[in-house]
Amino acid sequence: MKIEFSDNDVKYVEPWPGASKLFPWKELITAVPSVIFLVTTYKDNGKPNACLQSWSTFFSDKGELLCIFGHVSKSGHMFSSLLKTKECVINFPYPEIFDKCLATIKNNDFEDDEITKSGLTVEKAVSVNAPRVAECFLSLESEFLWEKATFTDGRGVSICVRVKHVAMDPEYFDEEKKGRYGRTGYIYNINEPLNPITGLTNSFSIGAIEKQRPIK
């Protein structure tokens, strides 16, 4: 039998001050996983920018593959660079290079080459003026379509891009080899699952999706 939860029913012990505003209980109690990737652009000074992203969705319509970044901070380099250049690359890392991708969060000074400083390699794109990350197994070169404010005076916006070109490591074509799923493929963000009874959260984790069976 399900237990019903509203704002006054949930116990939430903040792991740090202000956590509940950034990650409200509804997000943590559901703990819906979201794929992790690096969005890369060029800053105004020509230096590569790399922004670790999640909370996004990919979908197709009219023969096009689109991505909506659910929350892009208006104060970050990704937002300003993407709105100016109108181009970016969505790079998917495998688990062994996740720590280097995570390092881009602190290696984000305006003068930094955020890719190289984090131990990754800049690779030239084919169809857009944005850097690719050589170590990532899949890169989606994309163009900006639109932005939309999700909340009045909110910290971030939603942004939609259209994929123009795809580059992929051939070892990931075959699901019997490395493939796109499992421990060698896409990385998922598991954001501090909350126990609403005790109020305690589990730690932030990364995970993988395992295929179970064909859909017939």
State which residues form the domain around 40.
Answer: 33-207
pLDDT at 188: 97
Give the separation between CA 41 and CA 130, rounded to whole angstroms.
5
- Percent of the chain beyond pLDDT 70? 100
Interval 156-173 mean pLDDT: 96
What is this structure's pTM? 0.93
169 falls within a domain: yes
9 falls within a domain: no
Q: Is the pLDDT of residue 130 over 90?
A: yes
pLDDT at 16: 80
8 falls within a domain: no
Name the DSSP letter for residue 194: B
Interval 190-196 mean pLDDT: 92
Interval 146-152 mean pLDDT: 90
Contact 204, 192 (CB under 8 A): yes
Identify residue 36 by its one-letter amino acid code: I
Interval 51-73 mean pLDDT: 94
pLDDT at 21: 83
**Contacts with 184 (C-beta within 8 Å, 6 or more apart), sequence order:** 94, 95, 172, 178
pLDDT band at residue 97 under the 50/70/90 scheme = very high
Phi, psi of 175 (to 5 degrees): -70, -15
216 falls within a domain: no
Q: What is the CATH number of the domain that holds 160?
A: 2.30.110.10
21 falls within a domain: no
Q: Is the pLDDT of residue 36 over 90?
A: yes
Q: Is the pLDDT of residue 162 over 90?
A: yes
pLDDT at 175: 86
Q: Is the pLDDT of residue 50 over 90?
A: yes
Cα–Cα nearest to 47, from 133, 110, 1:
110
Interval 26-34 mean pLDDT: 92
16 falls within a domain: no
Cα–Cα nearest to 113, from 21, 67, 50, 52:
50
5 falls within a domain: no
Cα–Cα nearest to 39, from 148, 111, 130:
130
pLDDT at 54: 93
Total domains present in the chain: 1
pLDDT at 148: 95
Cα–Cα nearest to 114, from 102, 125, 128:
102
Lowest mean pLDDT across 106-120, 134-148, 158-172, 191-205:
191-205
Interval 2-16 mean pLDDT: 87
Contact 132, 141 (CB under 8 A): yes
